[in-house]
Structures are given as C-alpha cells and as structure tokens.
Structure 1
C-alpha cells in the first residue's frame, strides 16, 4: 500500500512539473514571452477566409414555366423545376392519330436525350385515357402532366396537338406547333444540348 501511495505521489508531482512548463511562465528576464499565431499558408488563387462567397446566379425562369400542375399519376409538378436545364414539352392528346404515330419516336428520343428533360403535356381527354396512352406507347420514362383544363397549353400558346416547346438552359422558350419527324426532332434536341 505504501508503494502504491508513493507511485501516486510521483505521478501527481510529475504532472505538476509538466504543467508548469507551458508558455505562461516568465522567461529568464521576468517577462512573459509572446507567441505569433500560426497561419496557414495561402495558395495563389485561393480566396482568403474573409473574401465574400459568390453563389452562381439563379437560373432564369421563363414566364411559361411559372405553373404547377398534376401529373397523370396524381403527383405535383412545378414548371419552374425545368429552369436552368434544357427541356422539351410535348403536347399531346390520347385520341390524336398524329400523337399516336409519333409516340414511339418521342419515347426513343426521351430515352436517348442525355441531359435534355422531356415532359409530356396531355389535354383534351380524361386522366384514365391519358394513363393508358402512356402505358400503351411505353412513355413512362418521363413525366406527363394531366392538363385537363388546358391551362398549361394556353401558357405556351398551344391550340392543337402535337406541338412542342423547346426550353434552353438560359431560359429561352420556343414553341413549335408543326409535327416534327424523327430527324427534325433530333436536330432540335441537338441544338438544346
């Protein structure tokens, strides 16, 4: 027990001696030494900590994209989600023979469009017919809006189908009301990317 007590005293004494070895102690001349704070080296081109942080500008939201709507699956969709990226809106109706004829081309183009986002905008019919059209023509790889009151069609100036709206990443919208063949559609997609 006496041996344990002497080891404890020794450990405590060593701790006190070490604690007294810090920079707080006066130097031989009686004054407290000053220390210079360490600074991280700066790399050329690296902003200083106090430099203002710049954030990229918000994407331009075209007036046509300022809408919300329900999809054929009943989910909320915001047109503003397309701002800042290239997109194609395809306006169609389930009973339209031209829409039916171009649906396979649209499906293939949407799957291979890279960074161009596709959105279908269905109108002039009931939601169950719209859902059935999406399934029949394998168009489920992209979102389809159930524009039952044609409000989105009106925003883009669309009065008949099929039609397109091409949205560039800088917010420019160009509506095309003529039916496009595969080559014309691919050329328009290439111009967006």
Structure 2
C-alpha cells in the first residue's frame, strides 16, 4: 500500500473517530404496535429507527428488522479483522438466518471497495448499508471497526463491542434459544 493511501486511510479513520454526534436520518413513522394477542407487526424500538442505502443504492428502513434479534456488524472494506469475520457472518446467516437478522454497516473506504469486500468474501446473502457519512455509526456510538451491536427481539442493545467468532456464536445461540 502506498504512503499516500495509508495517509488517506488514517485521515479518514481520524475523521470518523472524532465526528460529532449528529442524528441519523429520521425514519418514517412506524406502524402502530399490534394490539395484545393479535398477530400484527412488531413495535419499532428506537434502536431500529434509522434508514440508509444498501451498497447497491436501494433504500433500507431498519424498522423492517423489528421483532427478531438483530446483529449489526460495523465494518470497513480495508479492515483485516472484518475480513476474517466474514466467514462467521456467513455461517451464522446460513444456520440462524430464519430466526435473526444480520445487517452489515460499512463505513469509510468508498462504495467500490465495499462492493469488492462483499463479493470477495462472499457475504452477499447479508444486506449491507453504505454508511460512508457515518450517521448510523454515530447513532450507535461506534468509533472503530470491527464492532458488533446485538439487539434482542425487543430492540434492546445486549452487546456493543468487538467479539471473536466463538463469542459471537455463543451470543447468537443464547438469543435464538
């Protein structure tokens, strides 16, 4: 990697780490919570009131994740640790995907690099947001990659930290039990 690229990467990381705490893009008002005993949609917790764009440019509303445990995986395309986690993310998606949500949230590095990361590491079965501006990262107080934010089915944050593969798998098993 050239010195110019390294300096640009370091500068981008510093900007994200010291960015202000601006609010994420407001989500549209959620549908009303279902009445007790009915099979209506789940109430949308504050943690899932954000919107974004996938790396393909499609609008995404996190309210669609309400009602299931959710893994938010904050990554960057140049992050070696993030790359090493991709296989576990794919494995968890394959084994538990019907019982939980997984959402990748990429920051920094540019959309082309984000696409290459997803393609090269074969994690396209998981939706990924392009959060280059860092609004979602700031919403969850994320200052470095790789970080997981794990929400229970009510939207409560139960983990916000780096997890190795075994720790992540253990947390997932407990959530879907």
User: TM-score band, normalised by the shorter chain?
Assistant: 0.7 to 0.9
**RMSD of aligned alpha carbons:** 1.8
Q: For structure 2, which runs of at least 5 residues remain unmatched after alignment?
A: 1-35
Shift of 1:149: 0.4
Selected match of 2:63 from 80, 87, 91: 80
Alignment partner of 1:69 is 2:52: yes
Residue 149 of structure 2, aligned match among 165, 186, 191: 165
Structure 1 unaligned blocks of 5 or more: 1-52
- Counterpart residue number, 2:161: 177
State the alpha-carbon separation in 2 of the partners of residues 171 and 57 from structure 1. 17
Secondary structure, aligned partner of 2:102: strand
Is the 1:85–1:170 contact (alpha carbons within 8 Å) kept by the matching residues of 2? yes
Residue number in structure 1 paired with 2:89:
106
SS at match of 1:69: strand
Contact 1:122–1:145 (8 Å) recurs in 2: yes
**Which structure has the higher relative contact order (CA within 8 Å, separation 6+)?**
2
Contact 2:45/2:154, CA 8 A, preserved across alignment: no
- Please tell me whether the aligned partners of residues 110 and 142 of structure 1 are also in contact (alpha carbons under 8 angstroms): yes
Would you say how many aligned residue pairs link Structure 1 and Structure 2?
140
**What is the rounded CA distance, in whole Å, between the counterparts of 1:56 and 1:171 in structure 2?**
18
TM-score, with normalisation over the residues of structure 1? 0.67
Partner of 1:122: 106
Q: Contact 2:47–2:155 at 8 Å: present in 1 too?
A: no
C-alpha contact (below 8 Å) 2:47/2:156 kept by paired residues: no
State the secondary structure of the residue aligned to 1:157.
Answer: coil
Tell me the TM-score normalised to structure 2 length.
Answer: 0.73
